[in-house]
Amino acid sequence: MVDANGAAQLKRKREGAEAQRKKAKTGKSKPVANGTVTPSKKSSAALEQKSTPTPIVTPEVKSDRKDKSTPKNVQTNGTPPNPATGTPSSSQTKDKAQAKARKAAKQAAPAVKGSVEQNDETEDVASAKSEGATETQVLAAPKDKEPKRKGRQSDPWSISAPQGGWFLPQDPVFSPDEKYLLLGKLRALDVYAVDTSLLVRSLPLSSSSVALAYALSSTNRDLVYVASSAGNISLWNWTDGSKLGRWEFGSNAKHLVVVEQPSVARDLVFTHEEVKDKHIVSVHALYTGEEASKTEVKQILQNSRPITGMQVLLQGKLVVLSTANSMIVGKRQKRNKTALQEFEYTFREFEMSRRVTTFHAFVPMPDGNDKALAEVHDHLDLAVGDDEGAIHLFDDVITKFVAVERSLKEKSEKKVGLESLAPRRLHWHRSAVRSLKWSLDGNYLISGGDETVINIWQLATGEQQHLPHLTAAIESIAISPSGASYGVTLANNSVIVLSTSELSAKTNIVGIQTRRISAGKLHRLTDPHHTANYLEPVPMDVYPNNNNNHLIFVTPSTQPRHGGATRSEPYVQTFDIANQRPVARQALTRNNATDPNVGPDGRPIPEPSVNLLRISHDGAWLATVDEWIPPAADLTYIEEGVPEFNAEERILRREVYLKIWRRDEQNAQWILDARIDAPHFIEGLSAHARVFDLISNPSGDGFATVGEDRVVRIWKPKTRMVDGVVVRGADRMQGLVNWTLDRAVKLPNKLEVDEASEASQETIPRTSRLAFSVDGSVLAVGVSWASNDDPGVIHIIDTEDGSIRRSITEVDVTVLSGLTILGRHLIILGSAVVVWDMIMDRLVYSIPITIPGVRVATHSQMLRLAVNEEDGTFAVSTPRLVKKQPEDEKFTKIAAKVSVYSPNSSKPLWHCTIREAVVMGLVAAKSGRGFIALDSSSNIRTISPTVATLKLPSPPPESTLDPTAQAMEVVEEEEDEEEAEPRSTSDLQLAESEELLRTAENDKPVVRPEQLQQVFDSGPSHALPPIRDLFNAVVGLYGRKPRATAASAA
């Protein structure tokens, strides 16, 4: 016991010393809001067991928060409030009228400086709160280290906190009053309002861990327990966002259930932990404050097989567990013993014939309040769903278990065989049952699966009720405390709340629905016969007409967690970065939302997938390229046993469409304006060719494409006219537009030593990339051939006549991932980051890129490139993959490194690492600075230059010169005029005009556009100064007094 306590204390000391060393190196400290040091209380009592969790933060929980379920400071715009954001006062107190100008200037300067320092300190406090840090002691920073702290904050670039993310695979949690819904994500626990579907509050976790499970307190519904991957459980007050405590477990809790301890108003926390291939179920009594020494733990089960589900009923009297192929039912032996260490359970396990996918247990309560009957007879009904779509109902399973055991033990004449455990079987689902719940009265059973249909079983009559077309597979179902609502989690990262009476949706909470990739899915990247299509970049772009706040990207229709196949992406979603929520979702191809999604053979019907997406420079047009290819199973009727022949038959039946969409601002959606079938065509096969790249013209309306046929096509709109008269539609003021092919440029097949010539046999490139210059006069085309021995080529095309002006062969583009033009420089991303000066026609620099464990052909699918013309920078994203052993196929850890470069220097201006994800999309902010990154966890981050502290324009001091000084100034001016040379008439007129303008300016202040631009041009929206500072800056410009001049004084 002494060693355990000593180790814990020593660990805390080491953590404090390490923090001090880091502060000494960086010169940055954590300021305290009130400037005082508040050390936490430490208990001197010895722990009874070594496995007892160690409380880290143990403040006393106030009792006045009990039975409060309404959060404070509820917002209505979808953006979580940030109480830590500082709003220092920017207005300065003016001196009296008799003060001199020099004294007023000296007093104004320190005041502005003090305002800046206050803002910096507030930002540090906000960042500490956003990380969820819970230090036991907060040390005040020495004053001599303040300059170092400021220097650290002067980083030229910064990355924002992640927005979005996928919800955890857990049932939604309703608040007791059913006004709020708690949904967990990897980095935070979010609280949403049921009536508005908007985010109310977010409880951030530590940046070094992710959330695994969460559960409401059984004694105080304002509190929630959250288990993280750091091996601890934290206690939060979700109504105000405060963190109340944390306990270290040393292992990760996969499941978390909280019940009330019998006869004591305390929480009992049941956890399932995985420790060295052992799965342990334990009960914890967690205490805070002065009672922290009473924290204890009791292990009740240890199993060698993984536990997939856990449910606790009747205040811990019954525990139901599930494994892959069996069910485990546990019952507490000593009913009258309420002490934790006296909890003893008898577990019974029975095997299932099929794999268990979900289950739910129900204990029918007797009529009235006769709880004595419930203590005598434990009636437990169990519903189990398997992977074949069947539901097995076990009625009174514990009683039947006991009867069978007693019959075998007593060897009586009346045998009770195992057939008494035979369940009732319900079968409607075609595939696995994913979620199963009993109604509160036990008369109904609600189930859901991959069919996007909620099925309600009426057990007494056997009747069924269906709610179809939920747009995605159903992953979990939760019943509200009153039974009036169903909380349904769908496989497209959305949660809906349905009314049980009308089965109508009253809440729709939608997250970012982009393609999700985990570390376990990245495998076989060294296999040359394996194609990792899921690593292709997510098509995305920035809508320029909304202050760069709307990001548009392609999403799949559904992404079940158990499905490993690559899903089609027929939808486009619009995400509002400023308000941190999606605002629109629209289908761009045919889909199966309201049509049958399964064929007669039981296989899912594939949908077309949008592979490319671009928005015009003015946001009026959207161009997409979607592709559909029949599955191999649909061509079995022409199967001849030759794989090459089967692949060719699929290519012959491929469908590729270029679609142009017009923006409808009134309805906030895209309307299809033109569809071009087979924009690229393979003549030899008479088949649709793939489109490798699609870009928009930055200087006008138009798009350019390049495909497998080695042809670059430029598409432009043309106003429709009949007999010289513009044809106008009924719903628009402008004329109708036809999209036509403006120019087609055929690329040479192979490049000889001196000139380009067609080879005898046509070859299909591996990939191609396009890039427009900022004025649209130059179009660069990079071609990567299928052979690794051919270095590829980059052609420079003149868009006026379509001629190839230059073919660059000095750069190796065997692996080509991205191609852009930044000013006079050509940026190539492949096996290296290459910057080529097109005017001087020479190499500026080259930075090699290596990805260990990945074959060269897959590099192009994992690298990202974006260029920003506003600040003359470009960003590159490269993956970081880690294996346990070099020969392993799967990766254990994934990360991404994002670097920002300037074309004039090979040293990166700034770089950062995104952990536990790879970047799936990287675009530049249009008409703004910075970049936007989308990772494989569906998180969006904004990378932007660091915004300097706003300096308010201070008006010049008032002139209070006495008459004697004014007279002296007039005499001096007259003497200067006499000594000056004679001026011409035009000079005199110009001087008079300037004098009139100066006199007019004295009537009211003149605010020039560049002055307002200096106030508002401070970077992206998420990095703007507080509203109060902006308001004071504008008022300072318009509210200043007229300037005093010598002429007016005279």
pLDDT tens digits for range 551-560: 999 999 999 9
- Measured from the Cβ of residue 25, the count of other Cβ atoms closer than 10 Å reads 9
Q: Is the confidence at residue 686, as pLDDT, over 70?
A: yes
How far is it, in rounded angstroms, from Cα 258 to Cα 227? 12
Predicted confidence at residue 920, as pLDDT, reads 96
Query: DSSP 3-state helix, strand, coil percentages of the chain (rounded to 5)?
Result: 20, 35, 45
Percentage of the chain surpassing pLDDT 70?
A: 73
Which residue is associated with the tokens 């993984």?
306
Which residue is associated with the tokens 């104004």?
108
Helix (H) or strand (E) holding 384: strand 381-386
Q: Are the CB atoms for 864 and 876 separated by under 8 Å?
A: yes
Per-residue pLDDT, averaged over 804-833, amounts to: 95
Higher pLDDT, 926 or 256: 256
pLDDT tens per residue across span 894-918: 899 999 999 999 999 999 999 889 9
pLDDT band at 319 (very low <50, low <70, confident <90, very high): very high
pLDDT tens per residue across span 234-287: 999 999 999 999 999 889 999 999 999 887 889 999 999 998 889 999 999 998
Report the DSSP pairing between strands 309-313 and 318-322.
antiparallel
Higher pLDDT, 339 or 269: 269
> Which of 290, 362, 283, 291 has its CA nearest to residue 320?
362
Per-residue pLDDT, averaged over 609-618, amounts to: 96
pLDDT band at 411 (very low <50, low <70, confident <90, very high): low
Q: Are the CB atoms for 323 and 268 separated by under 8 Å?
A: no
Predicted confidence at residue 112, as pLDDT, reads 32
Predicted confidence at residue 1009, as pLDDT, reads 73
pLDDT tens per residue across span 980-1006: 444 444 454 545 555 544 554 455 667
pLDDT tens per residue across span 656-672: 999 999 999 888 899 99
Angle between helices 146-153 and 101-130 (to 10 degrees): 70
Residue 183's beta-bridge partner residues?
190
- The total number of residues shown for the chain amounts to 1050
Higher pLDDT, 152 or 418: 418
Predicted confidence at residue 647, as pLDDT, reads 82
Q: Which of the 8 DSSP states describes residue 177?
A: T
Predicted confidence at residue 892, as pLDDT, reads 81
Predicted confidence at residue 18, as pLDDT, reads 43
pLDDT tens per residue across span 87-142: 333 334 334 444 444 444 444 333 333 333 333 333 333 333 333 333 322 223 33
Q: Are the CB atoms for 536 and 548 separated by under 8 Å?
A: no
Predicted confidence at residue 953, as pLDDT, reads 54
pLDDT band at 1024 (very low <50, low <70, confident <90, very high): low
Q: Is the confidence at residue 47, as pLDDT, over 60?
A: no
Amino acid letter for position 195: D
Predicted confidence at residue 107, as pLDDT, reads 41
- Domains defined for the chain, CATH in brackets: 522-672+680-945 (2.130.10.10), 963-1049 (no CATH)
Predicted confidence at residue 125, as pLDDT, reads 33
pLDDT band at 54 (very low <50, low <70, confident <90, very high): low
Amino acid letter for position 238: W
Residue 744's beta-bridge partner residues?
713
- List the alpha helices (DSSP H) in 511-603: none
Q: Are the CB atoms for 466 and 453 separated by under 8 Å?
A: yes
Predicted confidence at residue 787, as pLDDT, reads 82
Per-residue pLDDT, averaged over 730-741, amounts to: 80
Higher pLDDT, 753 or 1012: 1012
Percentage of the chain surpassing pLDDT 90?
A: 51
> Which of 734, 966, 942 has its CA nearest to residue 157?
942
How far is it, in rounded angstroms, from Cα 1041 to Cα 721? 58
Which pair of tokens denotes residue 412? 């009586």
How far is it, in rounded angstroms, from Cα 349 to Cα 789? 61
Per-residue pLDDT, averaged over 751-766, amounts to: 57
Higher pLDDT, 956 or 508: 508
pLDDT band at 375 (very low <50, low <70, confident <90, very high): low
pLDDT band at 181 (very low <50, low <70, confident <90, very high): very high
Per-residue pLDDT, averaged over 428-450, amounts to: 94
pLDDT tens per residue across span 465-492: 999 989 899 999 999 999 999 999 999 9
Q: Which of the 8 DSSP states describes residue 160?
A: P
Predicted confidence at residue 890, as pLDDT, reads 76
How far is it, in rounded angstroms, from Cα 478 to Cα 696? 46
Which CA distances in Å does 425 have to 383, 392, 422, 720, 1000? 10, 5, 9, 65, 91
Please, what is the average pLDDT of the chain?
A: 79
- Measured from the Cβ of residue 743, the count of other Cβ atoms closer than 10 Å reads 17
Burial readout 937-975 (b: 16 or more C-beta within 10 A, e: otherwise)? bbbbbbbbbebebbebeeeebbeeeeeeeeeeeeeeeee
Q: Is the confidence at residue 151, as pLDDT, over 60?
A: no
> Which of 736, 836, 733 has its CA nearest to residue 794?
836
Q: What is the CA radius of gyration of the chain?
A: 35
347: buried, middle or exposed (CB in 10 Å: 19+, 13-18, 0-12)?
A: middle
